[in-house]
Structure 1
């Protein structure tokens, strides 16, 4: 609710700015910000009604101009303002506005966005919006006296609208219609949705659903796909899910050693002390904890130790078993619950738990192709593109 109220206040400020804006760039940015505010308000309202927990984005989208348009274009071409929205549950993020003309071969966004607290059923919706910047501004070509009157009228009308909006908020109704701003209308150009099946540590090509056609004012010639790197980083792979001292049996029944053990990323890492972890010392023992592992409590072992459990993994067709003991029955229950939860998390996140996917904060730059060769055959060799989109949680 606090986030929604904040966006409503931001929206009020943007609407006031729109009534006095005459510069094209300022107008385009303001209308884009207004759309983002509206998207967030809608998402927050939905979140309040149905609380759900839902994952960084770098994106480059190739364009497919005709040869006569791109290579032989001597006249000033139309320019387009483009930005992306990323949605997941109640979280909505945006990119900066990119200005595109026929000299541009791909649309690049350098933003890095991280969605936190995602579940294995996450859905990231990517929406690409565009606006032709060559449409004339009505206000820009209007006499100064009429401009002043228009500004006053718009200000009063917008103020009344906003006042009505805030009053209606008490009845759980928010006015989200955008004010009509001539010369700055963004339209949905393309979109796609990415989920767990799209996540891997390498790049893949994903289809875009394109809206509109060549007759649309916001139309840009997209390939119809984008090459993406979707990174999912489950908590069980990146964080310690359980940690504490365990006693491990060595040699024979009477031989035990005390180890500080950490359950993380499908492994049980065993150290002689917690300080070894900070010092980045190699663990004394590493035991696999995966779908092939069998863990069971052992009640009838040693008279001195009744809080035992065994960890069995298949090794070269045989079973390798490690025996551990906790200091109390309560500790045994905690460890067993942590193991079962870990098994469940691994099964839900599937291939994302095979190894830790790293989140790259810095986005990859354009490949050398664009720096060393003329763009004469770039559309005929998609393997040369280094396009990326990264999502992580």
Structure 2
């Protein structure tokens, strides 16, 4: 109890892949029967070939692993040290921009284009158990080059790899129907075979038991691809540029799937060994330097990568993209050896010199302990072995160009429920959707934003006079000794004041100084009594009083 779980068998991952491809195979077989369009049948038949090829290679790999588990009981196995010395690092391989030229006759290429037969073509690429296929392209006599824009990347590739490229073709004759539903296929079989056999197959198909029939002949109900040509690419064929390779033609002119291939293909085959893209060894080393005739040791952070030993004062300089303090080339001309204990002050030291780079004096490094020295020495030997086995691929890092995918159709770019997610109700500089705004508002109000309404305090009606949205008219009320009043506008540019409407029927007109029952209820008005007192106290001279009144009253 509490111990580590038992290790999974080596073939468990391969068996899962076999099970997955088997389910895919069954689904494709059913799709072949249900397909009613020519393109559907062609794509399904192509996927079926890819699926069958993967199952075949997975089973071979499973058999090989099973034999390896039983092999040590008879012959024994190599030690881990021997295996490590003979194995190189893996790499990443990318193949793209495949072009296959065609060699049509002038009479075929320029004449009778309307009657030209069409062919469905695709490529299948294999490295061990990694199998990829390209898109399917339609070719006729107007096409001079078969072009595939796919980019296939193979991982964990060894220097001794062999990339097999196969070209498949299928004739698409307009007069031949490739669509065969179960009922139509049953009628054909019942009429072409004997009466007893035809009835038996007809009953089998009508009952829906199609799996056994389709596994035996999965493309009988549709179309069939044929192997037209193949090519084998190896390490020497890799180059950081387009290159032409030989293509072995397997078909003949009498075949229905025949295409006039030129015998070559052009593609871009790029390889990135792990030693060129990953740090093979990192750690601190002490570099011996002589200053003024005295020996001084400088502690540096060293990285072994891409055929160079680079040194920095700290790992932070790498993140800041600072130029290294020291950079030494590591190649087949590099000489690395351990330094004797008695010849140096520090132990666990080794010397390094590269005559090809023009160095005439070796540099001495010292590790912190014996184990670190052992790890560095093994990393150097491994790195030199990787460089020698990957050959020209380690001279300069090849770039894998990831092509941008084609623009999808408009109905596939956005979901129907995401319209409001794309609405920007805030500043156009900030991409914030309406959903994000509502979510933020809910968090700020602790959920009250959805449950209750916000309390809005309405201002009094007279506050609208001072909110800046109404025009104000300043008038001057002139009081005369005889009790009459006269209004005058202080702003001559303003419009004239409209006369007041007549009073309602049954009510007396308003007189200045007369008491009014509603006068005491209004705010910001003068009492009549106070007004009369003020008028009695005024001298005979005119007195000006400023009154604010909104226009239209």
Match in the other structure for 2:25: 11
Match in the other structure for 1:332: 373
8 Å contact kept, 1:19–1:155: no
Q: Return the match for 1:57 from 88, 95, 101.
A: 95
Moved over 4 A (4+): 51-54, 138-147, 149-152, 301-304, 315-318
Match in the other structure for 2:161: 122
What TM-score results when the alignment is normalised by the length of structure 1? 0.82
Match in the other structure for 1:158: 210
SS in 1 for 2:271: coil
Deviations 1:300-354 (A, max 9, x none): 3676510111111115776331111111111000000000111111111112111
Q: Return the match for 1:295 from 336, 339, 363.
A: 336
Shift of 1:273: 1.1
Larger radius of gyration: 2
Match in the other structure for 1:27: 41
Output the aligned Cα RMSD.
2.8
In the aligned structure 1, how far is the partner of 2:42 from the partner of 2:283?
56
What TM-score results when the alignment is normalised by the length of structure 2? 0.59
Q: Return the match for 1:320 from 353, 358, 361.
A: 361
Kindly tell me: are residues 240 and 255 of structure 1, through their superposed partners in 2, closer, same or farther at Cα, counting changes over 3 Å? Answer: same
Equivalent runs, 1:154-233 vs 2, <5 Å: 156-160=208-212, 178-182=217-221, 184-233=223-272
Shift of 1:143: 6.6
In the aligned structure 2, how far is the partner of 1:247 from the partner of 1:328?
11
Q: Return the match for 1:267 from 308, 332, 335.
A: 308
Equivalent runs, 1:72-83 vs 2, <5 Å: 72-83=111-122
Which range moved further: 295-304 or 129-138?
295-304
Kindly tell me: are residues 303 and 319 of structure 1, through their superposed partners in 2, closer, same or farther at Cα, counting changes over 3 Å? Answer: closer
In the aligned structure 2, how far is the partner of 1:299 from the partner of 1:154?
86
Match in the other structure for 1:255: 296
Runs of 5+ unmatched residues, structure 2: 1-14, 69-89, 189-200, 407-553
In the aligned structure 2, how far is the partner of 1:356 from the partner of 1:124?
20
In the aligned structure 1, how far is the partner of 2:120 from the partner of 2:398?
33
SS in 2 for 1:3: helix
Kindly tell me: are residues 316 and 305 of structure 1, through their superposed partners in 2, closer, same or farther at Cα, counting changes over 3 Å? Answer: closer
In the aligned structure 2, how far is the partner of 1:184 from the partner of 1:227?
28
Match in the other structure for 1:137: 177
In the aligned structure 2, how far is the partner of 1:233 from the partner of 1:208?
25
2:140 aligned with 1:95, yes or no? no
